[in-house]
Amino acid sequence: MSFMTFLNPKLTSVSDTSNINVSITNIPPCKQIPVYLILYLLFCQNSRRYGILKFGGYAMNILITGITGGIGSAVADSLLKNGHHVWGITRRNISLPYPAYVADLSDGNSLDGVIKTITADRGIPDALICCAGMGYGGALEDYAPGELPEELMVNTIGTANIIRSVLPYMRERKAGKIICIGSVAGNVAIPFQSMYSASKAALRSMCDALRLELKGSGVEVCVVSPGDTQTGFTGARRITRGRTAFYRTRCEHAVNTMMHDERNGKSPATVSRSIERLLKKKHMRAQVTVCFSYKLLVLLIKLLPHRVVEELMVLIYFHGKHDEGFRYVPSDQ
């Protein structure tokens, strides 16, 4: 039996075109459900190609910072494959498989102009994903005065600048999702990453306050906190200019532990999948920690006495597994 005769028993053969009438109303009720199911599956299959049936029922406009590498690049590639419209903001004019606009996140005034251009050229972003970040390794005492504000500027203030520029457009439309890449280091301080931990803790608090400010606006805010992840962040980590002999053994062990854990950490695709799940939801959670092991760590941090948490950090970073790539040469000897 052919598919046509299955739908319409009056059709005795495929060549019998005079009796062809396969409208839904002429198909027996018991056979309408499979037909609807087949049509729906065909629609979904083509929607993946053309971006029709997406997270909110349509292909989203998504603006991403930190798009040139690491988590930002993984998120952008995945969303692009799923048919979404991805745009990036970069510090340099480089070739990317999606439209990119050059802007300095630390310059709020120029960002206003760039966002105005983006909305005029391509429309209002449905989602803003803030992935730009950087980090130093070293003791707080060894930071040069010019190095101290860098992590706060990129990880916190730069993120605040881009959010501030995009918010008026999202509020006017009464819809939008803002996702900021935080870190488990924002929940627990990491030795010899003091300013990085501070910047991520500040980012988390800023987003908590922003969420309260935006109540009733239709704009939602979420912080996604990964743990150690295999990205270019490891190779790009800067080391403080000063190298005080007092910190030599512990700093060397801590930085090498960070490098070991990051190189053996989760793939950026793991973070990307968490972000995609958030975009699918009608309402996002306030905070998401990536991977079960880090969820458990964050829970323990909340439950355990502070002194116990500190001893746990000492055990991990001063006595744990580590690479041998970083050598601490004191500058005061």
HSE-up of 261 (CA within 13 Å, CB side)?
15
Q: Any idea what the CATH number is for the domain that residue 197 is in?
A: 3.40.50.720
Portion of the chain with pLDDT greater than 70, in percent: 78
Residues 64 and 193 both lie in one domain:
yes
- Would residue 328 count as lying in a domain? no
- Give the per-residue pLDDT at 62: 96
Instruction: Give kind and range of the element (H or E) at residue 295.
Output: helix 292-303
- Would residue 294 count as lying in a domain? yes
Residues 18 and 126 both lie in one domain:
no
**Number of domains making up the chain:** 2
- Would residue 326 count as lying in a domain? no
Residues 31 and 61 both lie in one domain:
no
- Would residue 310 count as lying in a domain? yes
| Residue 48 in this model has a pLDDT that exceeds 50 | no
Residues 61 and 174 both lie in one domain:
yes
- Give the per-residue pLDDT at 47: 44
Residues 38 and 178 both lie in one domain:
no
- Give the per-residue pLDDT at 27: 62
- Would residue 332 count as lying in a domain? no
Residues 160 and 22 both lie in one domain:
no
Residues 12 and 160 both lie in one domain:
no
Residues 97 and 69 both lie in one domain:
yes
Residues 79 and 199 both lie in one domain:
yes
Among 212, 211, 216, 91, which residue's Cα sits nearest to residue 158?
91
Beta strands in 28-78 (DSSP E): 61-65
Q: How far is CA 104 from the centre of its chain?
A: 19
Q: Report which of residues 320 and 153 the model is more confident about.
A: 153
Domain of 36, in residue numbers: 3-45
Q: Could you give the strand order of the β-sheet that contains 61-65, starting from the edge strand earlier in sequence?
A: 100-102, 85-90, 61-65, 127-130, 176-181, 219-225, 287-289
Residues 184 and 230 both lie in one domain:
yes
Residue 86 in tokens:
């991805």
Question: Span 8-30, mean pLDDT?
Answer: 52
DSSP string of 296-330?
HHHHHHHHS-HHHHHHHHHHHHHHS---S------
- Would residue 329 count as lying in a domain? no
- Band of residue 181 on the pLDDT scale cut at 50, 70, 90: very high
Residues 12 and 132 both lie in one domain:
no
Q: Report which of residues 295 and 1 the model is more confident about.
A: 295
Question: Span 215-230, mean pLDDT?
Answer: 92
- Would residue 330 count as lying in a domain? no
Question: Span 148-171, mean pLDDT?
Answer: 94
| Residue 17 in this model has a pLDDT that exceeds 80 | no
Residues 265 and 198 both lie in one domain:
yes
Determine which of 15-19, 115-119, 192-196 has the lowest per-residue pLDDT on average. Answer: 15-19
pLDDT one-digit tens code per residue, 65-82: 998 888 899 999 999 998
Strand partners, 180: 130, 223
- Would residue 130 count as lying in a domain? yes
